[in-house]
Structure 1
Amino acid sequence: MSKKIDLNWSVYDITKTYPEVIDIMANLGFDEIKKPAMLNSVGRIMTIPKGAKAKGISIPVVIAELIKNGFEITGNMPDISSMGSKQFQAKETGNTVLLKDYLKRLGNGEDLESVKKDFVQNFSDVDASEIMKAEQELIKEGTPITEVQKLCDVHSALFHGLTKEEKIANAEKAVEESLKKEETSEMTTTTDAYVRKHELAKALRETKGHPLYSFTEANEKFSKEIADIRGALEKGEDVSKKISDFRQIAIHYAKKGDLIYPLLKVRYEISGPSYVMWSVDDEIRDELAAIDKECNHDEEWIKRVQAVLTRADEMIYKETNILFPICAMNFTAEEWYEIYEDAKDYALVYGIDNRWEEAEKYVQDKKNRHEAAIYEGEIVMGGGHMSAAQLEAMLNTLPIEITFIDDNNINRFFNEGAKVFKRPGMAIDREVFSCHPPKIEPMVRSIIESFKNHTRDSVPVWMEKQGKPFLVTYYAVRDKKDNYLGTVEVVQDMQFAKEHFTS
């Protein structure tokens, strides 16, 4: 029977199944794996790929060593063949210098057509991907995205098209074709990277419940709505309600902005496409909001509607042909699971709500594995980890007063700082009822009892103190199995809200 290691398994699970892996990994530089406390805490949430990245150890070397020791590796395999690819590693070149010069000239007010002329002359023989790389290098160096976006008009001068939108779309298609050629020449295997990337994206888009499945379903709906609005405009019909409904696209963009773009930028250092598309998302969203508020639906308003629909339509193309394939080639299965889970926090778009069973199982298994642990001052929790000092400082920074009472009604924690409701240190480890005057004690007992018997989950109490309004809220604290663990009291000075809404 072969020994199999799934790269999606936690290090803890792997070593429990194959104890010999501890020595193999330790010899590769994973020293902490021999520390039982670390293995039993951090090891429960750490995978081999994540650990290798954190330690700066080559994952191909780790995989090769495991195979050498008789293991069969399965799961989310890293794309070893494409490691070292230059796709998103633009260097300071003559192209970058020229683009900087064009931006400077545009910033100084030089005529756009004049800059375009020089651009065509210098870049007519340069692959579109090289231009994209140079633009990304500008972003890495700190050039504002709004400045780099100015190059879109200049860039489009290289490509044929009757309108600005057509030119930009053709430019992006040329980037894709150029990347296809580049990837093919760089790959040392027979697999065509371009085809592989798009086939992988297609497979994920067709996986029921996968984030790309839901994103694509939403885009199909957006495309239909765009066609519907355009048709109504041609007939001279009122499209006000249709525009309002179409603004749901802002939720779609928010998901990309929170779940996709940061992941590409931070973990994979793919910032150029993300930054530019993110900015365009914001512009489309803001323009739709402005159009929706406008009462005068004259010819100028109709032109604005048509223009923003064109941009939204182009974004659908960019997502399908550029963004999603890049994500498909880079994101791990675990990252897709997390995107799926986090997406649940957003409002539904046109009622689209898909369940991904594979991710549901992963999320549940992860919750079952996560047990809070403390090792050398590091607190490991389901949502991450931090030192005790960091946690304490964070709680003391929040502009609220926090008190935690355990399930035996004992005061366990107060955050520090100036307080309106004084909490002496000696009250720690005392029964909470002893801290309240007799006339308040019955209310406190009633609240805690209702939390314990699950009749209430929170109780807000408004009051005035020192001439200011305060909101005191009691919350039941429960574990993942809904067992009562205690009560947290949060006190917040609401004077700022009163001044905001009455000024």
Structure 2
Amino acid sequence: MIKMSEFIQNNLSRVERLNLMRKLLIDMDKGLISPAEVKERFKKILENVHPAEIAIIENILIVQDHFPQEKIHRLCDVHIDIFRESLESQEINVQKSHPLYLLYDEHKKISEILGMVMKIASSIENNKNVDAVTKILEENLPVFDSLFDIENHMVREENALFPFLEKHDVVQPPQILWNEHDSLRVRLKDLRGYLNKASNLNNQEIDELPNLLKYIVDLKTSHIYKENKILFPTALDKLEEAEWDKVWEGMNEIGYAKYTDLSLVKETGKIYKKKEILEDRYIYLESGKFTLDELNALFETLPIEITFINKDDIVQFFNRGEKRVFVRTKAVLGRTVQNCHPPKSVHIVNKILEDFKSGKRNVAEFWINMQGRLIYIRYFAVRDSLGNYLGTLEVTQDVTDIKKLEGEKRIYSEE
């Protein structure tokens, strides 16, 4: 595959090409030129655009031209349409031992699932009575289970791949795709609601259901195209071999979907390297001391999830308990906390940090229902003895069972 550094065409330097395409997109946004005119008049310039160049242009539009991020997200499909001919010609070949090979293979499996979902939508359209629709839904529960398992694929991308792209200043494509992940999650949640009341759907819901299924198929199909043609080639261009090993490590830690071909998974061992200077020594704190092993074990034993974000908004630490509410991999370390959250909630994160840094607040708390569990999330401003802001501690706890406690328990039980 051609590396971007090797890519020059039409006697234009790479910088000149990027600047020309940036101006075209700005003029198009202003209505000075249509997408069709751009494709026709500048065909030679556009015909071999490298996928990574699209990512660079969109980042420039935000940083240099102050385009709102929401506008870039809206224009993404238009940009892809302009560069489609070039993207169609892009082919990348990776070995079976590469993480992208597995992700590409999962996309093929997901596309097969989407094809089955589309057939289900057609069947419902042709059978509008409640009994027939109930039967169709019940007979296809395994298909829906596989569809819902797309969540696993999305979580792996968000936590094992996206952080490494951000380290190479590829920010916009992951943000756009994460937005689409969240849109898909909303629709899948709607679909669960229909399935939970399958035998009690009213006529309006029966009419709406095929449209919902088609929307899910269209959204995910478009999403797969963007990842295959832009995100993955850009990742291959940017990431180093050692980083791909870390991508494997993160994906293996999260686990895989029902449709994943596990024969393609590259096993990685979890290796924890001790700093020799601390190996047999104590770490002294104000109220006691620990060896490094004791301190690590203590954090892993805590019945809560904690994450520490330093004063520069960088994720610096998290504990790795056995049962986590929110997925974390080591790829998150060194990542800005804003990039660890869905784009739609970043403004809330920024407001909390702003209030903590200004001294306006020291605590922020939320509670949400997630898969039938009550999750309590708290944020604490961490300050030194003089009150200077050092960072933020996030504490997450599943309080479902705690909320059920009544009376007292004073006797130790053997159970």
Q: TM-score, with normalisation over the residues of structure 1?
A: 0.43
Do residues 145 (structure 1) and 46 (structure 2) align? no
User: Displacement of 1:339 after TM fit?
Assistant: 1.2
| Among 312, 321, 326, the residue aligned to 2:229 | 321
Do residues 227 (structure 1) and 115 (structure 2) align? yes
User: Displacement of 1:256 after TM fit?
Assistant: 0.9
* Unmatched segments (≥5 aa) in structure 2: 125-132, 300-321, 323-394, 406-415
User: Displacement of 1:309 after TM fit?
Assistant: 0.7
* Unmatched segments (≥5 aa) in structure 1: 1-78, 106-114, 157-167, 181-193, 381-387, 416-456, 458-491
CA pair 309-351 structure 1, distance change in 2 beyond 3 A? closer
Aligned amino acid, residue 373 of structure 1: E
Instruction: Give distance in 1, aligned partners of 2:144 and 2:399.
Output: 35
Could you tell me whether the CA contact under 8 Å between 2:150 and 2:257 is conserved in 1? yes
CA pair 131-81 structure 1, distance change in 2 beyond 3 A? closer
Q: Secondary structure at the match of 1:235?
A: helix
Aligned amino acid, residue 285 of structure 1: R
Do residues 203 (structure 1) and 94 (structure 2) align? yes
CA pair 132-493 structure 1, distance change in 2 beyond 3 A? closer
2:380 aligns with none
Could you tell me whether the CA contact under 8 Å between 1:218 and 1:352 is conserved in 2? yes
User: Displacement of 1:305 after TM fit?
Assistant: 1.5
| Among 164, 174, 177, the residue aligned to 2:85 | 174
CA pair 249-402 structure 1, distance change in 2 beyond 3 A? farther
| Among 291, 312, 318, the residue aligned to 2:220 | 312
Instruction: Give distance in 1, aligned partners of 2:75 and 2:396.
Output: 48
1:486 aligns with none
Could you tell me whether the CA contact under 8 Å between 2:149 and 2:257 is conserved in 1? yes
Instruction: Give distance in 1, aligned partners of 2:288 and 2:398.
Output: 18
2:275 aligns with 372
Deviations 1:258-315, CA, capped at 9 Å, x for gaps: 121221121x222333332222222222222223224553323311210221121222
1:269 aligns with 169
CA pair 493-309 structure 1, distance change in 2 beyond 3 A? closer
Do residues 348 (structure 1) and 256 (structure 2) align? yes
| Among 231, 245, 270, the residue aligned to 1:337 | 245
Instruction: Give distance in 2, aligned partners of 1:494 and 1:176.
Output: 44
The size of the alignment, in residue pairs, is 276
Instruction: Give distance in 2, aligned partners of 1:139 and 1:91.
Output: 18
Aligned amino acid, residue 135 of structure 1: E
Instruction: Give distance in 2, aligned partners of 1:118 and 1:493.
Output: 49
1:419 aligns with none
Do residues 251 (structure 1) and 159 (structure 2) align? no
Deviations 1:157-213, CA, capped at 9 Å, x for gaps: xxxxxxxxxxx6x54533426xx7xxxxxxxxxxxxx66xx1xxx233x33xx3223
CA pair 359-139 structure 1, distance change in 2 beyond 3 A? farther
Question: Is the radius of gyration larger for structure 1 or structure 2?
Answer: 1
Could you tell me whether the CA contact under 8 Å between 1:90 and 1:136 is conserved in 2? no
Q: TM-score, with normalisation over the residues of structure 2?
A: 0.51
CA pair 217-404 structure 1, distance change in 2 beyond 3 A? same
Instruction: Give distance in 2, aligned partners of 1:501 and 1:372.
Output: 43
Aligned amino acid, residue 147 of structure 1: K
Could you tell me whether the CA contact under 8 Å between 2:252 and 2:267 is conserved in 1? no
User: Displacement of 1:132 after TM fit?
Assistant: 6.2
CA pair 306-87 structure 1, distance change in 2 beyond 3 A? farther
CA pair 225-151 structure 1, distance change in 2 beyond 3 A? same
Aligned amino acid, residue 146 of structure 1: E
User: Displacement of 1:337 after TM fit?
Assistant: 1.4
Deviations 1:104-128, CA, capped at 9 Å, x for gaps: x7xxxxxxxxx48655556752445
CA pair 117-229 structure 1, distance change in 2 beyond 3 A? same
Q: Secondary structure at the match of 2:41?
A: coil
1:427 aligns with none
User: Displacement of 1:372 after TM fit?
Assistant: 1.4
Instruction: Give distance in 1, aligned partners of 2:397 and 2:61.
Output: 45
CA pair 124-139 structure 1, distance change in 2 beyond 3 A? farther
Matches within 5 A, 1:394-405: 404=290
Could you tell me whether the CA contact under 8 Å between 2:22 and 2:61 is conserved in 1? yes
User: Displacement of 1:349 after TM fit?
Assistant: 0.4
Aligned amino acid, residue 275 of structure 1: Q
User: Displacement of 1:145 after TM fit?
Assistant: 2.9
Instruction: Give distance in 1, aligned partners of 2:154 and 2:216.
Output: 14
Instruction: State the structure with bigger RCO (CA 8 A, min sep 6), 1 or 2.
Output: 2
Could you tell me whether the CA contact under 8 Å between 2:158 and 2:178 is conserved in 1? yes
1:291 aligns with 191
Instruction: Give distance in 1, aligned partners of 2:34 and 2:160.
Output: 39
CA pair 80-320 structure 1, distance change in 2 beyond 3 A? closer
Instruction: Give distance in 2, aligned partners of 1:403 and 1:254.
Output: 37
Deviations 1:71-119, CA, capped at 9 Å, x for gaps: xxxxxxxx7964999999799947646755766x7xxxxxxxxx48655
Aligned amino acid, residue 85 of structure 2: A
